[in-house]
Amino acid sequence: MTRPGIFWALLCGVALCGCGSDEPRGIALSGTVTFKGQPLSDGMIKFIPMDGNGPTAGATIENGAYSVPAAGGPRPGKHRVEVSAFKATAKTTSQGAQMFGRPVDSFPGGAEGQRVVKENVIPKKYNDNSGLTYTVPDSNLTGVDFSLD
- Integer CA distances (angstroms), 75 to 28, 42, 70, 101, 146, in order: 9, 25, 9, 49, 19
**Residue extents of the structural domains in the chain:** 23-85+122-143, 86-120
Check if CATH label 2.60.40.1120 holds for domain 23-85+122-143: yes
pTM: 0.68
pLDDT in tens, the chain (149 residues): 555 545 445 444 544 444 445 556 799 999 999 999 999 999 999 999 998 878 899 999 999 999 999 998 999 999 999 999 988 766 666 555 555 556 655 555 554 556 667 788 999 999 888 999 999 999 998 999 999 98
Closest CA to 45 of 27, 22, 61: 61
